[in-house]
Structure 1
Amino acid sequence: MTNEEVSQLLKQEAEAILNIPVNESFNAAIDLIVEKVHGHHGKLVTSGMGKAGQIALNIATTFSSTGTPSVFLHPSEAQHGDLGVLQENDIMLLISNSGKTREILELVELSHHLYDTLPYIVITGNANSTLAALADVVLLTGNPEEVCALGLTPTTSTTMMTVIGDVLVVGTMRRIHFTRSEYNKRHHGGYLGQKSKEGAN
């Protein structure tokens, strides 16, 4: 691959990020997370299948390290008992590029039967999907074309999911006034643990 080809791929990804629709859905999602987790002592439960699931797991761990308790729930394992991790004050963040992922739609149905007041935030590339219609808040990726040479492998779409997750994390941190000292309480080891001690108050 030439340097020019690499630069073109990076340009495509950067342009896709800048084309993520920005609207009040971001604030609505942050409002729900703060209300349910910090107001009612619930937790954020993320889920996704395949590559989207890996992004959902990363979002959950990042939220947890920044003061908002969060867990990842595998949609298939949920059908074999893991659904029990849900509590009535929780909020769910579901990720599906197509908005049609069978396991995620089944998870919505199962969780709704358990607690019918659970709110759902959805990250998707399909505003007209079944999953989007079931959501309380929809965050759209802009549905960019994948940079994959086949146009199939989740590449650009997963970048969008990650970026949207970052916005939610940072927005929530600001809303709850999360400090360096609070970060250090949750992250003791390694370079970040040491760095968080510097100037902690």
Structure 2
Amino acid sequence: MTAAVDQIIPYTHIDQLREAKRIIEHEATALRNIAIDLDARFCAAVDRIEHCQGSVVVTGIGKAGIIGQKIASTMSSTGTRAHFVHPAEAVHGDLGSLHEDDIVLILSNSGETEEVCRLLPLLQQRGIAVIAITATCHSTLGHASEIAIPIGRLREAGLHGLPPSTSTTAMLAVGDALALVLARVRGFGSQDFAQYHPAGSLGRKLTSVTKIMRTDDSLRIAKETQSVREVFGQSWNQARRTGAVMIVDDEEKLIGIFTDSDLARLLACHQEQKLDRPIREVMTSRPTTISRTAVLGEAVDLMAERKLSELPVVDDEGFPVGMLDITDLIALMPQSLELNS
């Protein structure tokens, strides 16, 4: 008689999805609880880092170290000077990269990691402040830290609950919260962010509209009292002519816009008599505009939302300084920024 053998149940796609959802929901529940329990210690950490005269030096071992590298990168890109130091390398010379004005942000779930605990007396000797993200304040790391942000003793996700998963997700979330709250406290805006991200699709999205807009002799600007025939009878720069005329008042402030399509519409409707009337009578009054301080991403979103082909750029007082034309934007926009068709 053949010995009975355990039959392996096929791990179907339904089973995979069910397990994946359980893992994600487990981690999401942990994050919700951490958000509820977050207290004044988080604010103390923000205040301490905000007034730090040096850098935030992030450290951790294993998976926590990888999370630490990401947190350091996020801080660096949002206005907080930060870099990562591996704890094992620190005791082999990299401690020389630390200054007494720095703050060390240590990530360790247990708070008892050997490589991390070995650093603590060395940091204390040099008077370097320590902030910890750890499970509990009652660990070696928690006791040695000036500020400890507890994430709680979390059960890791998955069947065996062994690989760091929920704990590292929690550390990442708290680290992101630190970085982004610090950015808001410092008044770190989109223009600052653009300076740190000049390359790639993000860099293009954050490019100032002043670097893309048409200016000077590429613009068509007319007085509100001019007739349509006068305006379109003028000689314009044909090589880079925008498809819209910006209409200004006696103070040279923008009050309207008239496009080539508007002209074609008059002719198609047999309203040629309006060609000799002031252009203000047929222009679009109070047109959509964008500030010269805006970035390309904002302009693209606005043009997509309003279905615009041209977008006047104005200064703080309402004077026209440029024109964004859709034909110029298309070549610059990565796929993620493409206008709605």
Displacement of 1:196: 2.2
In 2, distance between residues paired with 1:119 and 1:61? 20
1:30-109 mapped onto 2 (5 Å cutoff): 30-36=46-52, 40=53, 42-109=54-121
Match of 1:9 among 9, 20, 23: 23
Match of 1:170 among 163, 180, 200: 180
TM-score by length of 2: 0.55
Residue 2 of structure 1 aligns to a residue whose secondary structure is helix
Displacement of 1:50: 0.4
1:24-76 CA deviation, whole Å, 9 max, x = no partner? 1111000010011xxx2x10000000000001111001100111110101000
Aligned positions, number: 195
The corresponding residue for 2:310 is none
2:116 aligned partner, one-letter code: I
In 2, distance between residues paired with 1:81 and 1:127? 29
Contact 1:44 1:70 in 2 (8 A): yes
Contact 1:124 1:139 in 2 (8 A): yes
2:44 aligned partner, one-letter code: A
Identity of aligned residues (%): 39
In 1, distance between residues paired with 2:119 and 2:206? 37
Q: Which stretch of the first structure deviates more once superposed, 182-191 or 68-77?
A: 182-191
The corresponding residue for 2:236 is none
The corresponding residue for 2:199 is 189
With a CA cutoff of 8 Å and minimum separation of 6, indicate the structure with the bigger relative contact order.
1
Match of 2:33 among 19, 23, 40: 19
Are residue 124 (structure 1) and residue 134 (structure 2) matched?
Answer: yes
Q: Tell me, which stretches of 5 or more residues in structure 1 are unaligned? A: none
Contact 2:69 2:84 in 1 (8 A): yes
Tell me how large the CA RMSD over aligned residues is: 1.5
The corresponding residue for 1:28 is 44
Runs of 4+ in 1 over 6 A off after TM superposition: none
Contact 1:59 1:166 in 2 (8 A): yes
Q: Which has the higher strand share?
A: 2
In 1, distance between residues paired with 2:90 and 2:19? 42
Q: Tell me, which stretches of 5 or more residues in structure 2 are unaligned? A: 1-14, 209-293, 296-341
Contact 1:19 1:142 in 2 (8 A): no
Residue 51 of structure 2 aligns to a residue whose secondary structure is helix
1:26 aligned partner, one-letter code: F
Displacement of 1:5: 2.4
In 1, distance between residues paired with 2:153 and 2:104? 22
Residue 49 of structure 2 aligns to a residue whose secondary structure is helix
Match of 2:166 among 156, 163, 169: 156
2:49 aligned partner, one-letter code: I
1:86-115 CA deviation, whole Å, 9 max, x = no partner? 0111111000000001111111222222x2
